[in-house]
Copies of this chain bind each other. A is one copy, B any other.
Amino acid sequence: MKVTMKDVAKYAGVSLGSVSKVINKIHVKEATREKVLKAIEELNYEIDENARALKTNRSHTVALILPSIWHPFFSEFAYHIEEYLSKNKYKLFLCNSDGDAEKENEYIQMVRQSKVDGIIGITYSDIDRYVSSQLPFVTIDRHFSEEVTYVTSDNFHGGEIAAEELVKRQCKKLAFVGAISVYPTETQNRKHGFIHYCETNQIDFVKFTPLEPIDYLSGELEDFLRENTEVDGIFAINDLVALQTIQIMTKLNKKVVEDYQIIGFDGIRKNNEFPYELSTIAQPIEKMAEAAVQTLLALITGNSFEQRTILPVTFKPGKTTINNE
């Protein structure tokens, strides 16, 4: 026979209302809470999530805002986000914002109207003023004001590792390639880490850091690479920029590994069955997704959460650096 909330109340020696409050994360006296939790555990009571949603007026939906799902990093991230949400009985709204702040703001309004319970957002436009610590909002890769909760990978250390791995492989003149944004973004820490390593180790380097938006294939990057012929080790702000840099280097008759080595950032793959295409600083995409979902659900349900989660990155050698083992 199924254990009911009544059984829990009786066993704990508290009122039915107290049990309900504990289940729905509403404040009760600590002693009462402990009695109820103990009874739930000992009776093996299973909380009916659907009934709970009805009572708490939750929609059990979360919006994921991405610049574009048509991007290997974001599609892997979205895959894992949906997976973890689904395990928690949440549905996912997908929004390609393409930097459209109005479209992003629409979902923020939906949270205000209780049509959506929370947002996981990778946003590059200026929605800072709409986002507050009250809003169940978890961001990746973007700080906003210090109040906003985020899950990110260790971008600064990733930049350091990239420089170190290039130097280990005999590169003498390094280059950083990656645009900067008018809004402070977490990805800029990749550059900072790279430069920090070069400066503290007295490694010669140049940098290509135009202001966004930039079309890497349009000529400016080509001019930069043409002017800096002695560059033999490149760190690109992400894997797609690394691939675009390779396209230009090929045009300039420079062969990867023989003439230069290059490391990207993200760790994109077609899916689990394929190897890393580039040598890259891989973000722990699945772990980031798991942490983002966990953090957001804690925010939604009023449980305790980490305001800042920073996960470690790892160097994954691919075909664009020499094998130095």
Residues of A whose CB lies within 8 Å of any CB of B are 61, 64, 68-72, 74-76, 78-80, 82-83, 86, 91-96, 103, 215, 217, 240, 243-244, 268, 270-271, 273-274
Contacts and interface: CB of A to CB of B under 8 A. Distances in A.
Contact of A240 (B74, B94, B244, B270): B270
Q: How many copies does the complex hold?
A: 2
A69 B75 CA distance: 6
Per CB-CB distance, the 8 closest pairs between chain A and chain B, nearest first, are: A70-B79, A75-B75, A94-B94, A70-B76, A69-B79, A92-B94, A82-B96, A69-B78
Contacts of A64: 94
A72 to B, nearest CB: 6
Nearest to A91: B93
Label chain A's interface by main secondary structure.
Answer: mixed
Given A71-B270, A92-B94, 19 more contacts: A61-B93, A64-B94, A69-B75, A69-B78, A70-B75, A70-B79, A74-B75, A75-B78, A78-B94, A86-B96, A86-B103, A91-B95, A92-B93, A92-B95, A93-B93, A93-B94, A94-B94, A240-B270, A240-B274
A271 B70 contact: yes
Contact of A72 (B61, B93, B240, B270): B270
A246 to B, nearest CB: 11
A79 B96 contact: yes
Contacts of A70: 75-76, 78-80, 271
